[in-house]
Chain A
Amino acid sequence: GAGVSQTPSNKVTEKGKYVELRCDPISGHTALYWYRQSLGQGPEFLIYFQGTGAADDSGLPNDRFFAVRPEGSVSTLKIQRTERGDSAVYLCASSSRTGGTGELFFGEGSRLTVL
């Protein structure tokens, strides 16, 4: 596609439920990042993939959060046993070269609301 695509754009769920958020990066981009943005805050780093592997998952807040990128393209962020504090906009970004200038191209985000 022309840009980074994220689905769903909005997700409302109940506390304790399981949620999956999908990111389709720009074709050919090897690096993929997930961020979480709470109201009034900047994007908070969660995890970064280089190809299929998670190069750095140090930003995942706890073991309820998990992300995969099995074929080195689409990525899914998975949140188990959601809590109200998980409510935020989840942003995905991709980049063509991690060793280069490293411009991040962002999606429009998935807004998660946990009731």
Chain B
Amino acid sequence: AQRVTQPEKLLSVFKGAPVELKCNYSYSGSPELFWYVQYSRQRLQLLLRHISRESIKGFTADLNKGETSFHLKKPFAQEEDSAMYYCALKAANTGNQFYFGTGTSLTVIP
């Protein structure tokens, strides 16, 4: 079975503080992992994907196969980072479905 776990439903940090949103996955194949973000009153959109190894809006995420984790990090949080964040796994071995975690609501306090 494929599963994505985001243990924190709510996370608050002060502006300028580091932030880490946790994501753990369970998948029997080779995973493709993504972070999606939903800002207030906007649609869900891609933030970053592990295969690109990119930094988007200051966020990075490293796939750790040993710990089966894909945590999202940013060294200095900004107010505009306040949003709902979803970790997603693409089950490429079994048909390209995307499975999403339950999401973490990030609030950056001014």
Contact = CB atoms under 8 A, between A and B. Distances in A.
Interface stretch (A10-18, A61-69, A78-86, A105-113): A105-113
B71 interface: no
B97 A45 contact: yes
Nearest to B44: A106
Q: How large is the interface on B (under 10, 10 to 19, 20 to 34, 35 or more residues)?
A: 20 to 34
Interface residues of A, number: 30
A42 B45 contact: no
Interface string A37-50: 00011111100101
Contacts, number: 62
Interface in B60-109: 86, 90, 92, 95-103
Interface of A: 3-4, 31, 33, 35, 40-45, 48, 50, 55-56, 58-59, 91, 93, 98-99, 101-109
Interface of B: 4, 6, 9, 32, 34, 36, 43-46, 49, 51-52, 86, 90, 92, 95-103
